[in-house]
Chains A and B, each alone.
Chain A
């Protein structure tokens, strides 16, 4: 079945550092790919998405490119801020037996120190 694998956490960086969180996926079809962010005690917020190969999603300085050849959707940001501290989830969306199902990775906890 479909699956998503994220890099192991937690990740701790200093403010203004470069961020990469790796995400790879396995899917039988052609899924859409998402990054969601979860702040403490809250639900999931959509960060960015890409719906087909070579699409680049971007939002709030974060970027990720849908790479079909490497089945990857790595999240990057050039200069992180303390406010970026949260848990980040990579997910794929596919139609499975008529249902739109989101399959999530295990999440990567990011802490940014001032």
Chain B
């Protein structure tokens, strides 16, 4: 079975632009979460979606938004990019997104903002 897939692999944008990142979960998983990993740090929680509904949001500005589609894939959008948004963006999927459920990560999208 395929794991979590993300696209694109790498992306270069300039300040002020907008970006959309995509994620496909493991087949059968209904929950998708997004994390931001700045170089040299642990990932930080951005969003969790389950059955197309937002379940939770981390401490990120409104420039960050996401959605989940009927096939459980997800998009993360970031508007008005800042230099500080440069990071590895990780998508994780889990079955039902409950506390003991394991989250499986994709390879990530490396975003560079110039």
Contact = CB atoms under 8 A, between A and B. Distances in A.
Contacts of B103: 93, 100, 102
Nearest to B103: A102
A95 B98 contact: yes
A105 B42 contact: yes
Interface in B39-86: 40-45, 48, 55-58
Given A42-B107, A89-B42, A107-B41, A100 B97 contact: yes
30 contacts: A4-B42, A29-B99, A31-B99, A34-B102, A42-B107, A42-B108, A43-B4, A43-B88, A43-B107, A44-B105, A45-B105, A46-B102, A46-B104, A51-B100, A91-B42, A93-B99, A94-B99, A98-B55, A98-B56, A99-B48, A100-B31, A100-B33, A100-B99, A100-B101, A100-B103, A101-B56, A103-B45, A104-B43, A106-B42, A107-B41
Interface of A: 4, 29, 31-32, 34, 36, 42-46, 49, 51, 89, 91, 93-107
